[in-house]
Amino acid sequence: MNNLPRTNTARLAQQIQFVIELDKLKTVLRQTLLTDASRRENSAEHSWHIALMAIVLAEYSPVPVDVLRVIKMLLVHDLVEIDAGDTFCYDLQHNDSKSDRETEAADRLFGLLPADQAADLRSLWEEFEAQQTADAVFACSLDRLQPLLNNQQTQGGTWKANGITCDRVLQRMAPIAIGAPELWEFVQQLLEDCMTKGFLEPEREETQGMSGGA
Amino acid sequence: MNNLPRTNTARLAQQIQFVIELDKLKTVLRQTLLTDASRRENSAEHSWHIALMAIVLAEYSPVPVDVLRVIKMLLVHDLVEIDAGDTFCYDLQHNDSKSDRETEAADRLFGLLPADQAADLRSLWEEFEAQQTADAVFACSLDRLQPLLNNQQTQGGTWKANGITCDRVLQRMAPIAIGAPELWEFVQQLLEDCMTKGFLEPEREETQGMSGGA
């Protein structure tokens, strides 16, 4: 980082340093392709997309959600990937070590902020991870729905590239059944449609834990 | 767009179509470089960055702001670029036609949504453009501050590439003096510091409207 000039307060210096650090999330690539299939999506633009989805789709939560809390949660939910990287959701092996890597990342990243703000944003991240509140479950539903749409738009993009079958996608999308039941019906129809069109394969007879390419 | 399966309601179909359309903002490039100078920033990840800045820096607004409204405004403020493209802020010629192009884009893009949501998000975009409310002025301050930080981190990135001098940057940053006065002091120090380091040139004797390269 280029040195910054002195700020009036140590608090502002910490906040500006955090803001500059955020930029790195733009270089963390996910497996998902953009809808035009031109490149992989990064975690910063993904976070923007689902934050805006929270506004547009809030009415589908079966219980009222606090939209500001949901948006804040979604804006910070992937920050830990700056240090821990994005772990492909269907990669069972690397998901084993994910929690430890991400906790360490959270210590460093939220630790850049003044203590009150660090505690506030970290607790939102932890709430998202724990999936025990209505806000967190709805937020998670959007985090699952967006790559589904992108995979549909790219004719099976990540699924086809990694041999992911419909049963595994359905399992991954399960939070939507609770967080946004009306959307769950749409998700099931979409997956049926993707199978009909050959964008997605049905369950294989012998499912192996994690196929080499996935 | 790949055809989507039928949804239960026309309302959901409109919302999903809007959500899919959003993806295109990830392909709209701004002049600003990422802090690691690896590539130009796109408008979707930029919007994420400043929405998160609204949470961290809200305390610097001299009047209380409604953080949810500010965030919503920032999440949608660049949407029109999907059709109108990003207009470089120092490009006087193309800024003349910007307003018409963006109004047309707003008609189409917000028009994808159900009427109530279209009206809600469009009015937030119009409020941001009009700069007549505290929420809009604070939101604008963040929209100006973020590229400033990225230009400082990239040793003058966009400024050097386009021959932009300090007087023009100061003029561009002016909303920060109103929207976040404590940050304005920091901005001035940062620009002084950038001039000392040779990242930014002071005002030229003969300033020309818009230099060829800028």
Express each pLDDT in B185-207 by its tens digit: 999 999 999 999 999 999 876 54
- Closest A-chain CA to B188: A5
Which has the minimum average pLDDT: B73-82, B141-150, B159-168? B159-168
Q: What pLDDT, on the 0 to 100 scale, is given for residue A79?
A: 98
Residue B25 makes CB contacts below 8 A (sequence gap 6+) with: A45, A48, B42, B43, B44, B47, B78, B79, B81, B82
Write out pLDDT tens, residues A139-194. Answer: 999 999 999 999 999 999 999 999 999 999 999 999 999 999 999 999 999 999 99
Write out pLDDT tens, residues B4-47. Answer: 887 889 999 999 999 999 999 999 999 999 999 999 999 999 99
Q: Residue B110: pLDDT above 50?
A: yes
Q: What pLDDT, on the 0 to 100 scale, is given for residue B205?
A: 60
Residue A66's pLDDT band (boundaries 50, 70, 90)? very high
Within 13 Å and on the Cβ side, how many CA atoms surround B113? 19
Residue B42 — φ and ψ, nearest 5°?
-105, 165
Please tell me the distance from the alpha carbon of residue A117 to that of residue B180, in angstroms, as a whole number. Answer: 19
Identify the helix (H) or strand (E) that includes residue B31. strand B29-33
Residue B86's pLDDT band (boundaries 50, 70, 90)? confident
Look at A12 and B186 and tell me if their CB atoms are within 8 Å. yes
Bridge partners of residue A33, in order along the sequence = A40
Which one-letter DSSP state was computed for residue A201? B
Q: Residue A212: pLDDT above 60?
A: no
The pTM of this model reads 0.93
Query: Could you give the 3-state DSSP secondary structure of residue B58?
Result: helix
Q: What pLDDT, on the 0 to 100 scale, is given for residue A205?
A: 60
Q: Residue B118: pLDDT above 70?
A: yes
Residues of A within 8 A of B182 (CB-CB) are 8, 12
A22 touches chain B (CB under 8 A): yes
| Closest approach of B91 to chain A, Cα-based (Å) | 25
Neighbours of B42 (CB within 10 A): 24
Write out pLDDT tens, residues A6-57. Answer: 788 999 999 999 999 999 999 999 999 999 999 999 999 999 999 999 999 9
Tell me which residue of A14, A17, A22, A20 sits closest to A82, measured CA to CA: A22
| Closest approach of B193 to chain A, Cα-based (Å) | 7
Please tell me the distance from the alpha carbon of residue A15 to that of residue B61, in angstroms, as a whole number. Answer: 15
